[in-house]
Structure 1
């Protein structure tokens, strides 16, 4: 006898907004299974508003409300029983962030929690990384977003250090990351990985998922530092338009993929990692698992 229910996670990032609907399959005497039922991504680049003008524009505020209304209808259609909506870097820093949260609550009946970088890292850590990693190895987990990147050192299955840095793809595109922030990240990575003889990277985020898919590597096989460097150099040899027309990248991916790759390569260089594994998990997966294990609050659909 199995019991199946559906939970949903909404991730309001700096580069896009995502809805993940997951089937939660409970079986007596067996571990609970989490299976993706639907994933929708809407490319609303809130970071371009906030990191330059400190507030979310009226146009993007309306697009968010329209998206949340659509997400609510999708959740109802899927018979979702509980959801959690989390907003990250861009909404954290927007002067009108609280106002937008209230508007979404009023017009779409969706409650949004604006979470800080440390809570974001903790929710991501709640994903079942243990099913992807070798317990005998040490990893640097890197989740690249539009406004910030979360880093965690995982040794023998346990997180030994975790920190969020304001280095994200949209910030880098707009030349808004100070040299000192890069230096602070370099020091943090070296300091927290120096005691381990061999480190592998775990890469999370839409850009590294796309690169992995393009590579044709089998699931579970890593990308090498050499491959990522070669791909990075190749990307830079194409114009933005050529990356869309010739490399078949979406327009909202064709620009951010370069700064994202730079972040992964920097993390590999400073940790002396030769390989990067791509488990294809992120904040949305962490939210669903956190709802199930009741480590975060969740909402019922109104």
Structure 2
């Protein structure tokens, strides 16, 4: 089968991802991938706007991405924007400027679509089996929760409580104060009632976290073992006890000290504290002994959809 080249741009609230791939019927091969901490929510997310400085960073990054895409001669570009853009009053204007400047059509997806694409990405990674799991993806603007197994998603919902929002609302001191953690917990109790009800209804017995925060948590864990994660591996296990040890460090160290933790990266060092508090809160309701971490998320979910379309197109052509 002749592969099709495609570019996927995931314009997250914290990070912009570029993935250049060759698509086959049942697999894809990565030509190139890059992630840049654009932080489009910084300075404006709490006021539902994209700050001019954030827009500048976004355009600088998209210019760089466009050059890489053109260098590979790729014409199929699939760009998605999530919480930071969909909730911004100037989001439509921002997307129109991108179209004009870079000839890239950005699809602003709603929370339901985002959760479904994340589920497809996690499923594609091989993280799921017959067990009912709670899946979670902690973005900068929103957090997606899905309950399901390798066959289907029974329940999914996006909550606008992402890392940048929690950071703006609760993390005023560094290290974070116990009182700030308490306030964050009260906030999560208020916001996540629907999730708690869904957990009671479907009774998941496993937790799968995708990408972002979970990538960094597993990097820290593997660094503590003096091991490196295999690039060919998409699924990693993080023992609960080890996660708790990491959380204790995150809650008691300041930014400079957190940066010195082996496995930590600068783009994650600020939001990881509140993200870890969110995971701690979820573990009250799904008390697992091991967290499963999928390196695949939304952009790989998009690839799974594209691969399905590619194989359908090839089978139609061969008739």
Report the TM-score range of the alignment, normalised by the length of the smaller protein: 0.7 to 0.9
CA distance in 2, matches of 1:196, 1:37: 39
Show CA shifts across 1:54-75 (max 9, x none).
3212222122222212211111
| Cα offset, 1:19, TM superposition | 0.7
| Cα offset, 1:294, TM superposition | 4.1
Q: Which has the higher helix share?
A: 2
CA distance in 1, matches of 2:99, 2:91: 12
TM-score when normalising by structure 1: 0.86
Among 63, 88, 95, which residue is 1:101 paired with? 95
Q: Give the structure 2 partner of residue 282 of structure 1.
A: 297
Q: Give the structure 1 partner of residue 145 of structure 2.
A: 151
| Aligned-pair Cα RMSD in Å | 2.5
Specify whether residues 83 and 189 from structure 1 end up closer, same or farther in structure 2 by C-alpha distance, changes over 3 A only.
same
Among 250, 267, 274, which residue is 1:259 paired with? 274
Show CA shifts across 1:218-248 (max 9, x none).
7545212222121111122211012224546
Structure 1, unaligned runs of 5 or more: 27-31, 296-302
Specify whether residues 104 and 130 from structure 1 end up closer, same or farther in structure 2 by C-alpha distance, changes over 3 A only.
closer
TM-score when normalising by structure 2: 0.82
- Which deviates more from structure 2 when the two are superposed, residues 89-98 or residues 175-184? 175-184
Asked if the contact 2:48/2:89 (under 8 Å) is kept, the reply is: yes
Q: Does residue 219 of structure 2 align to residue 204 of structure 1?
A: no
Q: Give the structure 2 partner of residue 298 of structure 1.
A: none
CA distance in 1, matches of 2:150, 2:214: 24
Show CA shifts across 1:244-294 (max 9, x none).
245463332111111122222222221233321112111111122223334
Q: Secondary structure at the match of 1:194?
A: helix
Among 255, 258, 266, which residue is 1:243 paired with? 258
Asked if the contact 1:8/1:288 (under 8 Å) is kept, the reply is: no
Q: Secondary structure at the match of 2:270?
A: coil
| Cα offset, 1:181, TM superposition | 5.4
Specify whether residues 130 and 67 from structure 1 end up closer, same or farther in structure 2 by C-alpha distance, changes over 3 A only.
closer
Among 114, 135, 140, which residue is 2:134 paired with? 140
Q: Secondary structure at the match of 2:121?
A: coil
Structure 2, unaligned runs of 5 or more: 171-182, 311-319
Aligned residues: 289
Q: Give the structure 1 partner of residue 82 of structure 2.
A: 88
CA distance in 2, matches of 1:102, 1:204: 30
CA distance in 1, matches of 2:203, 2:48: 43
Q: Secondary structure at the match of 1:212?
A: helix
